[in-house]
Amino acid sequence: MKILFITLSFVISLFSFNYISANNQDLYKKLDVFGDVFDIIKSNYVEDIDDEKVIEYAINGMLQSLDPFSSYMDSEIYTDMQEETKGEFGGLGIEVTMENGYVKVISPIDDTPAARAGMRPGDYITHIDEIDVLGLTLSEAVELLRGPVGKSLTIKVVRIGEEDPIDVTLKRAVITVQAVKFKAEGNIGYIRLISFSEQADKGIRNAVKELSNSIGKNNVEGYIIDLRNNPGGLLDQSAKVTNNFLKSGEIVSIKGRDKNDISRFTASGGDIANDKPIIVLINQGSASASEIVAGALQDHKRAIILGEQSYGKGSVQTIFPLKDSSAIRMTTALYYTPSGDSIHRVGITPDIKVEYIYDEDEETDNQLNYALDLFDKEKMVE
């Protein structure tokens, strides 16, 4: 019986090896086909081709076939990306993705050319200086959007609710993102978190400290954390920012290809807001790291989430540097709120839905005003 078992195990192992080998052979055949296609293009295309560019396009096409957030970055784009995470870069000041062949705006960044020109989350860019975006990769479109500082460009925008496309002219600038802004609204501390760059956690801590000093520690009634149009950024910064307002408990869990391999961020510090009420503002431009913060504070009943449904980017991208100083950005995991919900393509649902209505004459912010009114004790109880 023992000999039979060993023999059977050997046969199964041999079958598995042959199966894997067959799969590898099929893969190698496809790679041979790729090489054949490249040779045919190189020899027969109507014009001479840039060999390196064609291969880069092929790599990017492979990644873009996976999801809109995976992409190839040549050495120049990779360098620009590294500068962005430090809080300073050149361009228009918009976070974008590719959807249905066009560039989709996730969010404009405060105090940038895009924000000042009135770009909105959900806008579709169809043309850049009369160049049709359809057929371009996201990297190619981004390269067209970037350019010499001070030089203007015109983009054609399709906006939901508008019958005709809109032409928007913007002037490129050096974008310096101040991660956090804050001010006192009476006895309420208002904190605007613009991006999750390397400055985010330090900025939040400083904002709470300064507001507590200016209002008076015993006089602070609560805080409003504004995550509207915050496209996200560094994962570790989102965990650190959340940790500032939770004494314990899970912040976010991350699950990759192996569903049993789960990484968890948990709160271990203290509540720098001293248990004061918190209201978090979100909208469709709140994505990724913003959704981690909003989801964790919502699940732990630490904050009231107010505004509109968030974007729904619940995936984690890992940067893999390559030998030639380029890199690939690839989705490697999905993240989940403490309650176990994935917000990918769904978003965070606010506790109180308030549609944003901007009054150009009054220049009022109805969502912020609603949040300030909530600090009336009777309304907070309700």
Helix (H) or strand (E) holding 98: strand 94-99
Say how far apart CA 57 and CA 41 lie, in whole Å. 13
Task: Check if 53 is active-site.
Answer: no
202 is catalytic: no
Write the DSSP string, 314-332: -EEEEEEE-TTS-EEEEEE
3-class secondary-structure state, position 51: helix
Q: Which parts of 4-93 are beta strand (E)?
A: 71-73, 88-91
Say whether 263 sits in a helix, a strand or coil. strand
Reply yes or no on whether 299 is catalytic: yes
**Distance (Å, rounded) from C-alpha 333 to C-alpha 316?**
5
Look up residue 92 and give its two tokens. Answer: 């228009």
Q: DSSP characters for 125-164? A: EEEETTEE-TT--HHHHHHHH--STT-EEEEEEE-TT-SS
Q: Which amino acid is at 86?
A: K
If 0-12 CB within 10 Å is exposed, 13-18 middle and 19+ buried, where does residue 190 land? buried
* Calpha distance 51→234 (Å, rounded): 34
What is d(CA 73, CA 71) in angstroms, rounded to the nearest whole number? 7
SS3 helix, strand, coil % of the chain, rounded to 5? 35, 30, 40
DSSP character string of 274-287: TT--EEEEE-TT--
Contact 226, 262 (CB under 8 A): no
In the set 286, 288, 290, 326, the catalytic residue is 288
Catalytic residue among 74, 201, 226, 299: 299
**What are the catalytic residues?**
288, 299, 313
